[in-house]
Structure 1
Amino acid sequence: MLQGKVLRVARPTDYLDRVVHFYTEGLGLQILDSFENHEGFDGVMVGMPGESHHFEFIHQRGHIVGGAPTQDNLIVFYLPNQQEWQQVVERMKAMGFEPVNSYNPYWDKDGVTFEDPDGYRVVLQNAEWSL
C-alpha cells in the first residue's frame, strides 16, 4: 500500500543552520528545498535528489523544542562499501563532529555514531541492510 510513496521525516530543531550543516556538509546530503517564515516556521528539506525519502528540519520562530528525548533516538545509514563508509566517517571527524559511544553497544560493532546539534544520534553502519 505504501510502496512507491515518498517518505518525509519531519523534525523540529532549535538550531536549524547547525543541523542543516551537520546533515549536508558532514553526511553529504543535499538541500532539496527550503522556506522562510511560512506562518512563523522556517524549514529545510535535505536528502538526495531523485530519492523517495528525505528529512525536513523545521524551526518555529520564538519557540524552543529542546533536544532528543533519549540517546537511543537513531537514524541509521547503512553504508556497505568500506571505502565509502570510511570517507564519510573521516569527513565527519574532519568537520569537528566527534564519534560518541552508542547507547546500544550493538551499533558500535560495525558502526560509528555521531550526535547532531539537537542530540539526535546518527549511526553510520558499515553493513548491508537486511531483515
Structure 2
Amino acid sequence: MAFENPTRDEIRGILENAGNIAVVGLSDKTDRTSYMVAQAMQNRGYRIIPVNPTVAGQTILGETCYASLKDIPEPVDIVNVFRRSEYCADIAREAAEIKANVLWLQLGIVSDEAAAIAEENGMIAIMDRCIKVEEAVTQPDRSKKG
C-alpha cells in the first residue's frame, strides 16, 4: 500500500499534543529555511530542540544544540527533519531509539524507507509537508496560552 500522510484533522491533533520538537538539520544561519521555520514554531509556543553536529554545544534560538537525537536529555514528541532524503532512514532509526512520536520530513523530503522504519516502530510518519504551514492552518495561536 502506498504511503499517505495523515489527514489535516490528524495533523491538527498531532500538533495540539506536541511539546518538544527536535529539529534535525537546524541551521544557526538566520537566512536558512530551517531557522525561519523553527523560529516561527517557537514563536507559536512550541519548544524547539536544535540538532546539528556542526554547532553542538552552542545555542540556536536560545536553545542548546545537540549533535544527535540520542544526546537530547528529555522526551521528544516530533522529530522535524531538514536533511536530504538519503539521511532520513538513519534519522528515523535514531528517532525510534529515543521513542519519538512523530517523524516529520519537511517539504521536498521523501523517504519511503524512513516512513517504513517510523511506522514499524510505532511512530507517525509525515513527508513532504512544511510543519510551519500545517501548524498555521490547523492551530489557534499557542503563544497566547496562559
| TM-score above 0.5 | no
- Say which structure is richer in helix: 2
Higher strand share: 1
Please say which structure displays the higher CA radius of gyration.
Answer: 1
With structure 2 as the length reference, what TM-score do the two structures score? 0.29
